[in-house]
Chains A and B, each alone.
Chain A
Amino acid sequence: MRASSLLSESLAVLGKELTSELRSRVALNAIGLFGITTLVVVAYQIGPYQIQEKDRPHLLSALLWVILFFAATSGLARVFVKEEDAHTAKTLRLAARPLAVFAGKYLFNLILLVALFTLIVPLYCALMGYEVRGLVGLVLVLAAGAVALAASSTIVAAIISRASGSTTLFAILSVPLVLPLLVMLIQGTRAAAGSVELAAVLPALQGIVSLGGALLIVSVFLFPVVWHE
């Protein structure tokens, strides 16, 4: 038996990711810059008053997720691509169990997404005059969305890092997987914005949680195949 626990190994991977990210800040810069830029463009060109009152619930929730999804796409592929680029993948492959690698990288992407959401969502609400009645509902939708998006982006990042490693391929492979997720996220956000009742977001939330859970479980099983071929 191996002396170290899976948890300690996963945390070691996560710690390594955080340390290198804090020193290089490549992913943080990419995601933050992309998020802020699109947010500013949207807020400047559309702003709170350009949208008709009846269109607000639909448009505002959709625009928010367009910004969040594309900002996330610009940085989340790096967790695995950088290992291949720097030739550290093989060193890591020989030292760590696949599950620990996946868990560490998944948690890292989750942290990046949470950071992105906490940065962009309040700014978006302020700049676009987006009033959210059910704050708890919104937080739940965002949290479930982060869990699910982190799962799909981590496994797709692992796949593309073994292929060409291009961000284009990352987007091509991600879009069909996350489209149903995005639709449910937009729906859930709209429901949360419109009602204080938690029951309003429940249908969407159930869908997001079950899709996120399914993606996560399947990814855990598929990851060793992708990582070791």
Chain B
Amino acid sequence: MKPIKNILKYASTIAIAGSLASTAVADVNVAYFLEWATPNQVAKVEKTYDKVLGEKVNWINFGSGGAMTEAMLAGDIDISFSQGLAPFVNAVNANAPIKMVGIAVAYGAADDCIVSGKSGISKANAAELEGKSVAVPLNTMADFGFRMTMRHLGVDINKVTVVDQEPADGAVSLVDGAVAMACGYGENSLSKMKEAGKPMLTSAEKKAAGITSFDIISVTDKFAQEKPEALRRFLEVTHEANAEFAEDDSKIDVIASDAGLSVEKTEAQMDGFAFPTVDEQFEDYFGKDGRVATMLPFMGKMFATEAAPAKADYSTVVDTSFLK
């Protein structure tokens, strides 16, 4: 018995020591999405971030922005790159100590609602969706897009049966004809959806209706306080990568392989993306009536719950000082 006891004792000691050691990581940990092509992936692959920051930058992929928030609260992630506004607003409503430091991607068509061809529904007779099933990943940017589209087309959401499905699952349901419309993001899922139908609104129509959105770069308060230089450098490298890509997009295959997409799908996705420069961000987004100032309260109210009511003022969670 005694050796077993000893082994158990050592094993538990090692386990405790290991768990303590793993919490004390000094590197910079960044959360990102797969299937979401951004120019800074070139910098990520070429380790430019590591070189400029002088520290090891770990990239961890996530399935949803909500999970990014959880990981940030648990202290495992410092920077969430391209977190959706919806999860960010949810986190802020729940008093999470995180803030927005910049815009990662602006997009109109990257999340989309695809109507199945079989249903015979288009924007002309969109009200026929009432009583039918629609696959939506709830509480994501696609959910936001869905609600805005329905509002624009005058469809009563309460009469639509909303099925909560991840985009990949929603694509399967749309192809099988189980749902009349599926909303989602991610180029692989969207192109599979488009096999069975076409977008409810074209990107031009969406733009006209004001249904465009953007993903942000969010950080924990702690990281922003303790490593402001690293954060500033991180944003610099990101913008440099954006600028380099705007001039010369020959490295798209690097982005494609890092995003887990084919080159064609990457091109298709990035056509719908815009990567605002620092000047553009200050001009269009962070101004007094900029898009951030209008979108945050709007979405805050949309996703407010009993436990996490909307905030009166969202400007305090935006910090542009690291962009300058």
The answer on A and B forming one complex is no
